[in-house]
Structure 1
């Protein structure tokens, strides 16, 4: 039976701080989604985010914009 909850022991979701590529520049997809969320949340987005920072900002802005997890 499939569930929408992740097994805590699963490695499918990692903390962005633990990503081996987390220090690389944010991807185009991350930047696009981040700017969409920022617009909906009426906030500015910092420039030149890393992949890890962009992921963390996306999580924060999903909550602020009403698209929360």
Structure 2
């Protein structure tokens, strides 16, 4: 019997990615620019995939994006 591991700690560290030193992807750049704008900061255009991933995680924590908001989830349950 196999179970799917949803533990974030099981994900591969961007520093260990085989393609981590390649330039960031278009979607990474677009999302990173959105997050940077919300955070009131700027990011370099020449990040690698791994660097962009790490910066995205950092800015998600700073802006609250990409994480479920407990208050919003709580309101949805009460409305049901």
Q: Name the TM-score, length of structure 2 as normaliser.
A: 0.70
The number of residues matched between the two structures is 65
* Structure 2 segments unaligned to the other structure (5+ residues): 68-80
RMSD between aligned residues: 2.3
**Displacement, 1:65?**
1.0
In structure 1, the residue matched to 2:44 is 46
* Structure 1 segments unaligned to the other structure (5+ residues): none
Q: Which has the larger radius of gyration?
A: 2
Q: Name the TM-score, length of structure 1 as normaliser.
A: 0.81
Q: Runs of 4 or more off by more than 2 Å in structure 1? A: 2-5
* Structure ranking higher in helix proportion: 2
